[in-house]
Amino acid sequence: MSEHAVVIAGGGPTGMMLAGELALAGVDVAVVERRERHALEGSRARGLHARTIEVLDQRGIADRFLAKGQPAQVATFAGTRLDMSDFPSRHPYGLALPQNAFEEILAGWVAELGVPILRGRDVTGLAQDEAGVDVEVSGGAPLRAAYLVGCDGGRSLIRKAAGIELREAVTAVWGTDFPGWEPSVSSLIAEAEARDEIPVGIVRDARGQHGLGRLEDGRIGVVVSGRTPGRPASRP
Ligand SMILES: Cc1cc2nc3c(=O)[nH]c(=O)nc-3n(C[C@H](O)[C@H](O)[C@H](O)COP(=O)(O)OP(=O)(O)OC[C@H]3O[C@@H](n4cnc5c(N)ncnc54)[C@H](O)[C@@H]3O)c2cc1C
């Protein structure tokens, strides 16, 4: 049985960032990732905010991201663009860089740090004892770790296996009972090919905010908003 101080389930942005941080701190860490390759099917998140770039700079890797992305003033409040270029920061801007591109950069960094990534493998279960945790992995022997970290996304198997309800997890992090309202607006997003020239831009109407934009590969990114059925148009 292979042993590590920490096993991370999931090699998305959260898992890779944590793996890099632990490796820099000299911790023996391994990642188990379901995907065979790091490619994502869609582009997902569209960029990084200033604080993220600052943190990447503290780790000495901001330049890798800046070389692949496009700096831009992306901070907004209620639809109004805010210019933060005079903020006291080395990086007073956001960076347009799709998630599939920044995941690739993170994967390269983690590989350089020598973190083993078991690709094409699923964490399928876990058994805790006083000293650590046995981690069941598809298609191979279990791993043993002092700590198992669930970075396996919003439907985390690790979270569920540990008996943690999402609501409880949020309450533990924020120290509050997660007050708020049910959502009143939902959005659909798509990445599409268009035969004809499409007018890009943002449109706001009574149903919400909609957008069309050209992606790096020439396709069209689409966001369409609408009211969630049965919900009020605005929050009380
Ligand atoms: C279509 C789409 C569009 C998005 N657009 C935006 C956006 O515009 N802006 C924004 O900020 N965010 C956006 N997001 C959200 C953003 O992608 C997530 O916040 C981000 O990916 C979360 O990173 P993560 O590492 O926590 O989880 P994930 O990216 O979900 O990574 C989890 C990883 O764990 C792996 N995994 C899951 N289960 C197991 C298992 N049992 N064993 C092993 N591996 C496992 C998965 O393969 C995956 O690689 C979007 C998400 C989607 C789906």
User: How does pLDDT run across 169-190, given as a tens digit for each residue?
Assistant: 788 888 887 777 888 888 899 9
Indicate if ligand 1 lies below 6 Å from the C-beta of 221: no
Does the pLDDT at position 231 exceed 80? no
- Ligand 1 mean position, distance from CA 43 (Å): 11
Sheet of 123-128, strand order: 117-119, 29-33, 2-9, 143-150, 133-137, 123-128
pTM listed for this prediction: 0.89
Ligand 1 in reach of 223 Cβ (< 6 A): no
Considering the chain, tell me which residue range(s) the CATH 3.50.50.60 domain(s) occupy: 2-40+106-173
Q: What is the pLDDT of residue 230?
A: 57
Give per-residue pLDDT as tens, 110-145.
999 999 999 999 999 999 999 999 999 999 999 999
**What is the position in ligand 1's atom list of the atom closest to the CA of 156?**
38
121/36 Cα distance (integer angstroms): 8
83: helix, strand or coil: coil
Ligand 1 contacts CB of residue 42 (under 6 A): yes
* Per-residue pLDDT reduced to its tens digit, 36-60: 988 888 888 989 999 999 999 999 9
31 in contact with ligand 1, CB cutoff 6 A:
no
- DSSP run (H or E) holding 168: helix 166-174
CA distance 29 to 153: 19
Residue nearest to atom 19 of ligand 1 (CA): 45
Going from the Cα of 86 to the center of ligand 1, the distance in angstroms, rounded, reads 33
Alpha carbons 189 and 191: distance in angstroms, whole number: 7
Between 3.50.50.60, 2.160.10.10, 3.40.50.1980, 3.40.50.2300, what CATH number should domain 2-40+106-173 receive? 3.50.50.60
Mean pLDDT of 86-112: 95
